[in-house]
Every structure is written in structure tokens, then in C-alpha cells.
Amino acid sequence: DAKTTQPNSMESNEEEPVHLPCNHSTISGTDYIHWYRQLPSQGPEYVIHGLTSNVNNRMASLAIAEDRKSSTLILHRATLRDAAVYYCILRDVREGAQKLVFGQGTRLTINP
Amino acid sequence: GAVVSQHPSRVICKSGTSVKIECRSLDFQATTMFWYRQFPKKSLMLMATSNEGSKATYEQGVEKDKFLINHASLTLSTLTVTSAHPEDSSFYICSASTGGWYGYTFGSGTRLTVV
């Protein structure tokens, strides 16, 4: 399985943008980049995913490098409720309902 | 959107007893479900993959006789922790997939404390 590397922790201020990086230098052509986040004492929740093009949804934006070896999750205006652990995961869609393997993720702290 | 209900959210049991945790997909049929455990301040560790109507596939190092998984229907999977011990205390989380790109929906987790 291709692996991802994320910083252990990041800190930002409320109402400021946050850029969460993820490196995946061994990504294959059929790997989608998924982001999930886990709020304290809850199960993870889906944030966004993409293959090659940048993606936007109501929660966040995903910027994917041209060589696909890295990506950045962008929270445009962080709130206290965005404090969570963010996981960047690669998923090969050729294999159907493949298991999701979580790395260590980035613990995001938002200061008021 | 897809919803996965996990029950109970918290359970305390005595050493040596068994505990069953349920995971239900409420508005979709889940061909595959996954079970994870998570220790404090740590990441999720996949325990097993559960496919409807067949035996679960366990990850290396996970005792299948201790963590019994049953996926009897397309909307229900159960995890039974048998003869629980204090070291089994953990946060257990289930996840369900419809098999498409859509992604995975997670339950809210079950905090098991064995005393």
C-alpha cells in the first residue's frame, strides 16, 4: 500500500486559513487521495477526495500537486469546531471496497 | 447521506464476560464493513474486514476467536469481544462501504471499559 506522511501536529487561529500538507511520493495512477477527520471521541468523517484535479466542497478544498506526490487540504476559515485529527489516505479504486488504512494523521489545534 | 449507527456508545463490563457491539447501516446496504480499535492519542488500527454472508478477514495479530465478527445481513455487523480483559479496553469503531467510490461512513464509536 502506498503510504502518506503528515506532520504530527499543527496550530492555527480561528477565522484564518489552514493548509494541511500530505506527502505521498509512491502514489500510483489509480490511487485516489482521501481526507478524513476525527473529532474528539467520535468516529472519523469524510472530508474530501480527489484524483488529479483540485476539488472544492462545502467543508474544504483539496489541492493536488501536478506530479500527485503531495496534496494539501485547505480549510478556508477555521473555526473551533475544526479542531480534530486529519488523516490523508490513499485508496486504490480498482479493488472495490478496499480497506482504509489510517496513518498517524495531523492533530490540528485552533486557537480562539 | 449515508448513516452508520453504532451501539452501544459506552459499555463497562467485568473481566471474563463478553460484550457485543452492533453496527448498522441505516439508509444503505453495506456490502463490506470494517472494524477498528483505537487507543488514546493513537490512530485507528484496522482489526478486520467483514463481508455479508462470509467469514471476516482478520488483520495480522488480531485474535479471531477473541473478536468474533458476524455480518449476517447487508445492514448489520456485530463485533463480540469474548472473555474480555482490562487490556481489551479501547475505543471500537465500525465503518461501512457500499463498494463504490463514495467512500466510507463511520459509526460514532463504542468506548469499552473492562473492570
Predicted confidence band of residue B54 (pLDDT cuts 50, 70, 90)? confident
Q: Do B109 and A41 lie within an 8 Å CB cutoff?
A: yes
Could you tell me which chain A residue has the CA closest to the CA of B94? A43
SS (H, E, C) A45-80: EEEEEECCCCEECCCCEEEECCCCCEEEEEECCCCH
Give me the phi and psi of B16, to 5 degrees please.
95, -15
Q: Radius of gyration over alpha carbons of chain B, in Å?
A: 13
What pLDDT is attached to residue B53?
81
Residue A52 is predicted with a pLDDT of: 94
Confidence of residue B102 (pLDDT cuts 50, 70, 90): low
d(CA B51, CA B72): 9
Model pLDDT, residue B114: 97
- The whole-angstrom distance between residue B93's C-alpha and the CA centroid of its chain comes to 5
Query: Minimal Cα–Cα distance from B55 to chain A, Å?
Result: 16
Among A46, A47, A106, which would you mutate to test the B interface (most chain B Cβ atoms within 10 Å of its Cβ)? A46
A-B contacts at Cβ under 8 angstroms: 55
Phi, psi of B28, rounded to the nearest 5 degrees: -155, 160
d(CA B40, nearest CA chain A) in Å: 10
Q: What is the pLDDT of residue A108?
A: 98
Residue B90: closest C-alpha in chain A: A41
Query: Three cell numbers at B49?
Result: 474486514
B29 has a pLDDT exceeding 70 = yes
User: A54 with A111: CB under 8 angstroms?
Assistant: no
pLDDT over threshold 70, residue A95: no
The answer, yes or no, to whether residue B98 has pLDDT greater than 60, is: yes
Once rounded to an integer, what is the mean pLDDT over residues B6-20?
97
